[in-house]
A and B are shown apart, each in its own frame.
Chain A
Amino acid sequence: MAKNSEPIDLLQGTLDLLILKALQYQPMHGFGISIRIRQMSDEVLQVEQGSLYPALYRLEDRGWIKAEWGTSENNRRARFYELTAAGRKQLEAETNTWRRLSAAINLVLEGT
């Protein structure tokens, strides 16, 4: 991904995928997820809190992630989200869909 100082807006529907991906290896709290997405995208993708929490609650309602109270790195109470089995499947499915979509878009853009 090209480095750019301006953060860009997230595409509609990609936030769920990013959250699931961020949670792939370890449980995290909401703040951690937003940091992780920013880091993973080399500071390009900024997740607004206004969209993060509705998305987290939505994913939880669908049973893809579950939350438990734990202690954060600074010894504070925080809600940690982790992937459920259904969430892992969903991540795989969405990743595949995204790969196909972006490959197709690339083909279109790079075609002559």
Chain B
Amino acid sequence: MRFSRKIRAFFRKGELEAEMADEMRAHLELLEEENRRRGMAAEEAHYAALRSFGGLEQVKEQARDQSSVRWLEDFLRDLRFAWRELIKSPGFSLLAVVTLALGIGVNSAMFTVLDGIILRPLPYPGLERIDRFFRATPQNPDGDFSPADFRDLKQGIAPYGDVAAYRAGEASLSEPGQPAEMATAFRIDSNLFPLLGVKPQLGRTFRPAEDVHGNDRVVILSQRVWQNRFGGRADIIGHVVRIDGEPHEIVGVMPASFNDWRHFGGIDFFRPLGLTNEQAADRHATFLRVLGRRSGQVTAPEAAAFVDNFGARLARDFPAENAGTAWHVASLQSLVAGDNGPATLALLIGLSGCVLLIACSNLANLLLARTMTRAREFAIRAALGASRLQLLRPLIAESVLLAFAGGACAILVAQWFGDWLTLRSTADNGEQAVFTLDLRVFLWTLGASVVTAIVVGVAPALFALRLDLHGTLKSGARGTIGGRHHQRFRRILIVGQFAIAMVLLAGAALFIRSLNEINHRRAGWDSTHLVSGSVLLSPAKYATADMIESFQRQAVQRLEALPGVASASVSSFTPYFGWPDAQKFAIAGRPPPPRGQEPVAAINRVSPHYFETVGTRLLAGRGFVGQDDAQAPRVLVINQAMARGLFGGENPVGRRLVLLDGTAQTTAEIVGMATDVVSVVPEMKPVSWQIYQPIAQAPRPRCEVCVRTADIAPATVIDSIRATVAGLDPDLPVRNLKTADDTIDRANYQEAVLRDMLSSFALLGLGLASLGIYGVIARAVSQRTGEFAIRLALGASIRDITRLVLLDGVKQALLGSSLGLIGAIGVAQFFVASWPGMHFSSLPVLVGTTLLLILVALLACWLPSRRAGRVDAMVALRAE
């Protein structure tokens, strides 16, 4: 026998059956022959043989039962049967599959997101040994390093492994005949790519000699820029481009796999660190980010202890710069999700889980109702001797079939969702967060489908097992019964659905409200009629503070001369987002605070008409004027919160502050007090302390150009702004030149995506729950037709019946919502703990959600209750 019997038994059933029949026949003939030999007549011998053999078919069936693939055959037969049954009721099947597809699909999509954000490893070999270093200061727990600190670290790093530094930044990229573009450009240590274990797909990485200032006119492109800007041309190596007005040679192109949006994927190109000797010896300015790779024997705790000690030593040795700092490391992979990442994902997964739960309970309900209408069929089967297992098998087969059909559609839902998310997250520079379905998502969906099948199949199966044979058969042709335990089961389902819907809706609503509030927050400034864009003056072309100052002054003058423009300004930051520059200061005439404990305020350098342009009001004193230039006495404007914090209720105008920059100290007079500015970014403190300084007294090469239009739409001046800047310097791009509201929307696109996702979960959940609640109540009412008929016959009015049904539904809605309230309050507390910068107004949302659910319950009960009220007592009672 070449074939294994088991495989043959499965695939060649017919052949095997024939063999079995042959074998039995042969046996019978031998028996017959023996009987004849013993002297029986031919006919008698035949019957005697048959008698002694016993029931031929029974023997065959028992023999078939011995096969170990029998269960599989049975299961397939059950599936075929279930398939025929489902096809017979297409409405039910479609509803079940769609419910499942949405429920599981949303969860598969969430798994795709989880996978795309957290689970998928960054594209670096030996990733588990790569750490990011941080230097915590009292102001910034995730601070960066000064070049001198990094140099010391590099010299003493041997016990840990290896380190490399890089510096974030922007640069303009231009080629002859094309408009200049501002690009995200990092400067990196020649050791960075070797440390990460990545190689360029074309050309080479940087050489150590290129780390030195003067040798750094080389550039490595990202694959994205190579494709988008240079058309992926193969002869790119050796090509010269102008960066910040200087010619740079392209020496390499990174591979597409390096384009991970969670780490270096957003960077357009890389240049060598290129520090001057003076810069390299500086311990004050902290702008280097540091990555490290632990060597083989060093464990993570050992590394953490080493880095902690090293930081403590530098803090002791150089107290002027490092007092109060503490160093720490975190594994690179653990950082990809961002600060709020894990909490956001927990939120999304929790809420999408709620959608699945609602879908499951709907399905359980549908299956239960279906099983109940088939109660007679089950009772007859049981009466004919079907075992419990045999009763259950077709039910389980149906659930499995539904779950797999639902799972297959869920993959489509997840695919569509991933595409949508990828599209939504595409940034201006073509950078994309990519969410793709892979094997793991398939496996996850498969797992979810199977678990769902088991969970959902259990309810009707339990019902079938508890079937009261006698009662069901006696109850005649009605087919449906309303025993107490599945009434209770149904109530539990309704109450549970209300509870879960409450958690889902309240959670989504709380978060959406809070996001909207932040997104529309414009306290202390005005976004209408406001346009802004960033400009970066290249150090090669604008080498001195005077040149920068003169460019900025001319730009503002020309912009203000444009038709329709009310005022214009340049500043280091716009009011939309928080200001990352922190300024240490002391109050003149008071004893200086100890090192490392100086008060800090956010600082913005602004040109004279800044306050009018962005719409920040001055509460006391004056704003800046053209005379507040580099030669004039230093002046400041502070915000109200800072004035109150420093001087109580007194007018701050005329007081003097000392600005501390390392060892340098500048005394400046406060000439004005501005209203508090609250940005659209969640902040830890309600209002931060804010200082304004004339930009002419502290020129910065990077600035934001802001223009307020008089009464025309702000978008209409965008082209003339670009032309005005190009008129001053044709090589100078204006980046992100947009209306204030567009810029804010773009910056908050992640929140917008989050909001869209939460809204769709909430709508989906509410829709499914309403459908489920309606279905259950309608069925319950139709089963009580007889009861209502008796009540009507005994003199109840139609209103009484309606009230009975409505009250019942509302009672369940209230019970469910109250249970859900406990969960919703828990969710609200989770929000408050996880997003400390956001404000959650729980009370109105919780009250609103409860009212909405009661409304849904009333609607769901109202339709069936009308039907209940219209019962014709005579017809209903005769039908008994």
Residues of A within 8 A of B (CB): 29-31, 48-50, 53-58, 60-61, 66-68, 72, 74, 76-79
Contact = CB atoms under 8 A, between A and B. Distances in A.
Interface of B: 1, 5-6, 9, 19, 22-24, 26-27, 29-31, 33, 52-55, 58-60, 62-68
Contacts of A61: 5-6, 9, 66-68
B35 to A, nearest CB: 12
Nearest to B52: A49
Given A31-B31, A58-B66, A72-B30, A48 B54 contact: yes
B182 to A, nearest CB: 75
A49 B53 contact: yes
A56 B67 CA distance: 11
Given A30-B27, A31-B30, A77-B22, A50 B68 contact: no
Contacts of B22: 77, 79
A74 B32 CA distance: 12
Contacts, number: 66
Given A48-B54, A78-B23, A54 B30 contact: no
A30 B19 CA distance: 13
A68 B23 CA distance: 11
A44 B63 CA distance: 25
13 contacts: A29-B23, A29-B26, A29-B30, A30-B23, A31-B26, A48-B54, A49-B27, A49-B54, A50-B54, A50-B62, A67-B1, A76-B26, A79-B19
Contacts of A68: 1
The list of the 10 closest CB pairs from A to B, nearest first, reads A58-B66, A57-B66, A31-B30, A54-B62, A57-B63, A50-B54, A53-B63, A78-B26, A79-B23, A49-B53
Contacts of B27: 29-31, 49
A56 B351 CA distance: 57
A53 B26 contact: no
Contacts of B52: 49
Contacts of B55: 50
A61 B6 CA distance: 7
A48 B55 CA distance: 11
Contacts of B67: 57, 61
Given A50-B58, A76-B29, 9 more contacts: A31-B27, A31-B30, A49-B53, A53-B59, A53-B60, A55-B66, A56-B63, A61-B68, A79-B26
Nearest to A32: B30
Nearest to B16: A57
Contact of B24 (A53, A54, A55, A67): A53
B470 to A, nearest CB: 34
Contacts of B19: 79
A76 B27 CA distance: 10
A79 to B, nearest CB: 5
A36 B22 CA distance: 21
Contacts of B29: 76
B499 to A, nearest CB: 51
A89 B65 CA distance: 25
A60 B26 contact: no
B6 to A, nearest CB: 7
Nearest to B62: A54
Contacts of A57: 63-64, 66-67
